[in-house]
């Protein structure tokens, strides 16, 4: 982290977990545990949990986000949710391009870009996910790949809008597997992403960008990962479903 240059952000990605009533219970449990955070705290919950989550988090330092958004404003897109809908229900953030969406739901760099623009234009903050598969890491193309994913995602994003963007580097082989990138690996790729953003927007804008690491970040390894200068926070899956574990990560980012 380098809090002099950019905010640290710890975001939970609950994935397809927690019903509305379970959501309220978990947020109520988390609120006192993260109240003293000096980083930003975000919980990205399933669509149907958004309204109860916003209500449960009201008056606290926890911000609520969604996990996907459609790129059109409205229309015949059965089963989809627009950015305006998220905004009105009180979501402030949305995760875009998570590897599970890329792998299971046909998400591509092009649709990631369309969703990013739609969300930003509606006034949402975005957490754009990039990351390589194990084969790509073994091929030695990680830095090129994530740089490309980042640049495509940001196509058409204005310098002003970039201030509402967070990039999450999530090596696919580390997600939900218990295999974490080493702190050095995470820092190296995050630095490459910052370099790619600097090519597009200049060094000052890139220095102001929050770049998270995600992939089996937990209460035990968060401090070491967050101690890296280019690791500005975390996108937390499994460990964000347990109030105590999540709060330990938040504390690590509050040092
Ligand atoms: P994990 O998930 O922390 O369970 O590995 C991270 C993510 O997918 O965002």
- Residue whose CA is at the smallest distance from ligand 1 atom 3: 237
Q: Is 214 in the pocket of ligand 1 (CB under 6 A)?
A: yes
- Look at the chain and count its residues: 255
Angle (nearest 5°) at CA 223 between 217 and 226: 80
pLDDT band at 179, cuts 50/70/90?
confident
Q: Is 102 a domain residue? A: yes
- CATH code, domain with 213: 3.20.20.70
Q: Is 3 a domain residue? A: no
Q: Is 195 a domain residue? A: yes
Q: Is 176 in the pocket of ligand 1 (CB under 6 A)?
A: yes
pLDDT band at 178, cuts 50/70/90?
confident
Residue 64: predicted pLDDT: 98
Average pLDDT for 45-71: 98
Q: Is 69 a domain residue? A: yes
Q: Is 111 a domain residue? A: yes
Q: What is the percentage of the chain residues whose pLDDT exceeds 70?
A: 100
pLDDT band at 124, cuts 50/70/90?
very high
Number of other CB atoms surrounding residue 81 within 10 Å: 17
CA–CA separation, 156 and 137 (whole Å):
28
CA 175 to ligand 1: nearest atom: 5
Based on the residue annotation, tell me whether 70 is a catalytic residue of this protein: no
DSSP conformation class of 181 = P
Residue 94: predicted pLDDT: 99
Q: Give residue-wise pLDDT tens across range 2-44.
A: 999 999 999 999 999 999 999 999 999 999 999 999 999 999 9
CA of 118 relative to ligand 1 center, distance in Å = 25
CA 176 to ligand 1: nearest atom: 5
Q: Give residue-wise pLDDT tens across range 214-255.
A: 999 999 999 999 999 999 999 999 999 999 999 999 999 999
Q: Give residue-wise pLDDT tens across range 90-111.
A: 999 999 999 999 999 999 999 9
180 has pLDDT over 90: no
Q: Is 109 a domain residue? A: yes
Q: Give residue-wise pLDDT tens across range 130-141.
A: 999 999 999 999
Domain that residue 155 falls in = 9-253
20 and 49 Cβ atoms separated by less than 8 Å: yes
CA 240 to ligand 1: nearest atom: 3
Based on the residue annotation, tell me whether 170 is a catalytic residue of this protein: yes
Average pLDDT for 149-169: 98
Residue-wise DSSP of 193-223? HHHHHHHHH-HHHHHT-EEEEESS--TTTHH
Q: Is 4 a domain residue? A: no
Tokens of 45: 């919950």
Helix, strand, coil percent values for the chain (each to nearest 5)? 45, 15, 40
| Annotated active-site residue in 98, 100, 107, 132 | 98
Q: Give residue-wise pLDDT tens across range 10-20.
A: 999 999 999 99
Q: Is 145 a domain residue? A: yes
| Number of structural domains in the chain | 1
Tokens of 30: 């988390």
CA of 215 relative to ligand 1 center, distance in Å = 5
Q: Is 105 exposed, middle or buried (0-12, 13-18, 19+ CB in 10 A)?
A: exposed
Residue 223: predicted pLDDT: 97
Task: Name the phi and psi angles at 5, rounded to 5.
Answer: -100, -30
């Amino acid at each position: 982290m380098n809090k002099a240059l950019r905010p640290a952000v710890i975001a939970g990605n609950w994935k397809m977990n927690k019903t509305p009533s379970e959501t309220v219970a978990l947020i109520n449990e988390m609120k006192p545990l993260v109240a003293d955070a000096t980083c930003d705290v975000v919980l990205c919950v399933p669509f149907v949990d958004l309204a109860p989550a916003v209500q449960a988090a009201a008056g606290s330092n926890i911000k609520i986000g969604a996990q996907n958004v459609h790129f059109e404003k409205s229309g015949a897109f059965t089963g989809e949710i627009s950015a305006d809908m998220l905004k009105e229900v009180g979501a402030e953030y949305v995760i875009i391009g998570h590897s599970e969406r890329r792998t299971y739901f046909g998400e591509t760099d092009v649709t990631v870009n369309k969703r990013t623009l739609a969300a930003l234009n509606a006034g949402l903050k975005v957490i754009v996910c990039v990351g390589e598969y194990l084969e790509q890491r073994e091929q030695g193309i990680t830095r090129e790949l994530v740089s490309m994913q980042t640049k495509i995602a940001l196509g058409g994003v204005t310098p002003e809008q970039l201030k509402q963007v967070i990039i999450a580097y999530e090596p696919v082989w580390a997600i939900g597997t218990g295999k974490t990138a080493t702190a050095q690996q995470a820092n190296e790729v995050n630095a490459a992403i910052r370099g790619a953003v600097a090519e597009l927007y200049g060094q000052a804008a890139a220095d102001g960008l929050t770049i998270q690491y995600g992939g089996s970040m937990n209460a035990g390894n968060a401090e070491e990962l967050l101690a890296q200068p280019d690791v500005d926070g975390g996108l937390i899956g499994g460990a964000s479903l347990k109030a105590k574990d999540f709060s330990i990560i938040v504390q690590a980012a509050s040092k």
